[in-house]
Amino acid sequence: MNFDFSEEQKLLQKTARDYLTAHCTLAAPRAVLESGGTHDATLWKGVAEMGWLGAAVPESYGGAGFGRLELALIAQELGRALAPIPFGPTAYLVTEALLVAGSEAQKQRWLPRLASGELIGAFAFDERAGRPSAAQLETRVEGGKIRGQKFPVQDGASAGLLLVVARAGSRSALALVDASQSGVAATPLGSLDGSRPLAKVAFDGARAELLGADGGDEALLAHVLDRAAVLAAFEQIGGAERALELTRDFTLNRYAFGRPVASFQALKHRMADVYAAITLASSNAYYGAWALSTGDAELATAACATRAAACEAFELAATEMIQMYGGVGYTWEYDCHLFYRRAKQLGVWLGSAAEWRDKLVLRLAQRS
């Protein structure tokens, strides 16, 4: 079984890296962070024109018609660039949920607008920073109307289409809500990574449409999250790789007491630990991408291992980056904090590494 990517896929990845190198330096996330904006609108438009938002969307719905493997490689390059755009919520969650469970009418209505970048998607799951069960959900859908509130919602203030986890009767379900209508109000919240802002979204009788025939259930929600976890892992791995590269380059040119610091500090040993963590995460991610692209049942466990390893690799890379930069690693002028912020925020966005390890144990136990 060959888990490597094809030459055509690697060429797509190189094209993405070249584009982002030219159009998304680390000044881009810093500018959004310092301005208090929601995202880099110019980069968002460029990414849409490149067809990346619709990479896994069939051409019949306005997409590029590639697949999840191509989407994963694009995610990795966006992670390397710390791209300050709402790519993940739009492409990994809202678009994926529509592709997996949306009705034909929903796909025709929403997918072309998501693929073109006209609409930004957001996933509204948390209530009071927790992940509620069906019985605990306060947000409800009844009679085609939704009431309640969700927070924090990543990129919720800029979203045009919300995928909301709400209670429908006695079960949890996924609902689509047009954020432009009355009855939907988004309030910005403070966040660790201001280049990927958070919001509180309140619903007061807004129109809501259950995803697909009936909105699914907890099994559909888990499956959507599994798919997003694999794709987000590639973004985390890309960020970890770039953090390690920058750390290596900086330490090679860092001198103290007239000598390179690497000549008398055990820096290379620590970088070797980071490299090992990234390699382990990449191995899991390749397997997860294979399961995602083939629809294999192994996705349920592969996603857990992939998510946990990617969270740990990115956080380790970002933490060690600050440490190995020395005193300047803690300053605003250097870019270390940008990687640390992104690692922390991505690390809790879909649930922490600990949550996904617990899922893995439960799912493995259910097999026996």
Give the amino acid at 2: N
Contacts of 294 (CB under 8 A, 6+ apart): none
Pick the CATH number of 218-367 from 1.20.140.10, 3.20.180.10, 1.20.1260.10, 1.10.246.90: 1.20.140.10
> Distance (Å, rounded) from C-alpha 20 to C-alpha 1?
32
**What is the CATH number that goes with domain 7-115?**
1.10.540.10
Q: Structural domain boundaries of the chain?
A: 7-115, 121-210, 218-367
pLDDT at 10: 94
| Superfamily name and number for 121-210 | Butyryl-CoA Dehydrogenase, subunit A, domain 2 (2.40.110.10)
Q: Between β-strands 121-124 and 161-168, what pairing exists: parallel, antiparallel or unpaired?
A: parallel
Helix/strand/coil percentages in the chain, nearest 5: 55, 15, 30
- Interhelix angle for 336-349 vs 27-35, to 10°? 70
pLDDT at 3: 67
Rg (CA), the chain: 20
> Distance (Å, rounded) from C-alpha 36 to C-alpha 89?
19
Name the phi and psi angles at 167, rounded to 5. Answer: -85, 130
> Distance (Å, rounded) from C-alpha 222 to C-alpha 230?
13
How confident is the prediction along the chain (368 residues), in pLDDT tens digits per residue? 666 889 999 999 999 999 999 999 999 999 999 999 999 999 999 999 999 999 999 999 999 999 999 999 999 999 999 999 999 999 999 999 999 999 999 999 999 999 999 999 999 999 875 666 666 889 999 999 999 999 999 999 999 999 999 999 989 999 999 999 999 999 999 999 999 999 999 999 999 999 999 999 999 999 999 999 999 999 999 999 999 999 999 988 887 777 777 766 778 899 999 999 999 999 999 999 999 999 999 999 999 999 999 999 999 999 999 999 988 999 999 999 999 999 999 999 999 999 999 999 999 999 87
Beta-strand runs (E) in 90-168: 121-124, 140-142, 145-154, 161-168
